[in-house]
Every structure is written in C-alpha cells, then in structure tokens.
Chain A
Amino acid sequence: RKEVEQDPGPFNVPEGATVAFNCTYSNSASQSFFWYRQDCRKEPKLLMSVYSSGNEDGRFTAQLNRASQYISLLIRDSKLSDSATYLCVVNSWGKLQFGAGTQVVVTP
C-alpha cells in the first residue's frame, strides 16, 4: 500500500468553477502536511501547508482530517493558470512522502 494515495485525475474544470480533491495517508504518526504544485517537467513548488483547523490562502482551501487520515484541497474560481498536478505531501519524522499527484486541467 502506498504511503500517500491520490486520485490521479485528470479533473477537467471549466474556468471559474470550483474543484476539490482529496488524498489519504497511511501513517497516523505523520506530523505535518502540505500541498505542492508541479507543472509539467518542473520541480514541485509549495502551494500551502495544511493545518488541523483548516486554512485558506486566497482561492485555495485546505482541510485535514486526522481521524480519517485524509487531506483535501479546494480551488475556487479556477484560473487557466491553475492547470497543474497537485501533490499531496506528508511529513513523517523529517521525511516527505509524496503522492503521485492529481492532475487538474482548467479549460476556457
């Protein structure tokens, strides 16, 4: 079983719409959680950290459910530039475990 699992997508989203997706993680002792964005053939870039109380950064909202061991990301008012692969990342004892990513394609 993979440490971090994500729906690979793609999620095809009309511009301006809302899209949400989850990931699940297997290590209940994981300490911190992140969403990264990766564009094609580029390095991952930190989008936002995920806190237990849920947090928002502009059009992006992240939620963490420790009891069920899942993390979610919601993107409101999607822009064409939001098209990318979103990586769910879990920090366990200083090591980052990456999901394979969820591909989002925002269409005009």
Chain B
Amino acid sequence: GAVVSQHPSRVICKSGTSVKIECRSLDFQATTMFWYRQFPKQSLMLMATSNEGSKATYEQGVEKDKFLINHASLTLSTLTVTSAHPEDSSFYICSARDSGGADEQFFGPGTRLTVL
C-alpha cells in the first residue's frame, strides 16, 4: 500500500519555541493532505486540510496563525506549531489522499509532541 512518512516521530521542546513537522507521501502524489491531533483516549480531530499550491482550510476552533501549514509540493506538507505551550502537547498525525486514486487516506506514523 501507499506509504506516508512523518518526521520527527517524537519531539520534546521548551514552551515558546516553534516545532515543524513534515509529512511526506513516498510513492504517490497527494494534492490533499490532512492534519489531525489526538489527545489521550480521545478521537482523532481534524485540524486542517492542506491543499498543494493553495492555502490550507482550517477547522473551526483551530488557530491558523498558531498552526502554520505549508503544502509546497505534491509529496510534502509541513505543520509548524508556533510558540508552543504545554497544552499543545499531543499526537499529531497526517494523512494523504492519492491524487490518482480513490477516497482512501493513508496515515503517517504520527509525531508525539511534548512541550515542557
């Protein structure tokens, strides 16, 4: 099946710093990628839809200035958590939809962010 990678897999940072997470589709092109956040024992919550070459679409309640998304190519989307705070600590997962395929989204392995 299609492979999506995320980097880094785990990051610990100090409060106030910015953290960039990369999501790559390795063997297919993805016009659309999605960013999710999952808190312990809760469901994945869609944060934003990332569209190649255009601005991301953010879900209600997600601050676009805090969670910067860039989808510069058909295989790479980045999420930058700016001025991170402890409450931003979470599991961030991206997914990608094959531009030439069906509806299925392929998930990256996730990034565990801990803000001290």
Which A residues are closer than 8 A to B by beta carbons?
2, 4, 8, 32, 41-46, 87, 91, 94-101
Contact = CB atoms under 8 A, between A and B. Distances in A.
Contacts of B42: 100
Given A87-B43, A95-B49, A43 B93 contact: yes
B103 A98 contact: no
B103 A45 contact: no
A3 B93 CA distance: 20
Mostly, the A contact residues are strand
A95 to B, nearest CB: 6
Given A41-B91, A91-B103, A98 B109 contact: no
A98 B110 contact: no
A96 B46 contact: yes
Nearest to A3: B43
A43 B105 contact: no
Contact of A45 (B45, B91, B107): B107
29 contacts: A2-B43, A32-B103, A41-B112, A42-B109, A42-B110, A43-B93, A43-B107, A43-B108, A43-B109, A43-B110, A44-B44, A44-B107, A45-B107, A46-B104, A87-B43, A87-B44, A91-B103, A95-B46, A95-B49, A96-B34, A96-B46, A96-B95, A96-B105, A98-B36, A98-B43, A98-B45, A100-B41, A100-B42, A100-B43
B77 to A, nearest CB: 15
Nearest to A88: B43
A82 B75 CA distance: 33
B18 to A, nearest CB: 24
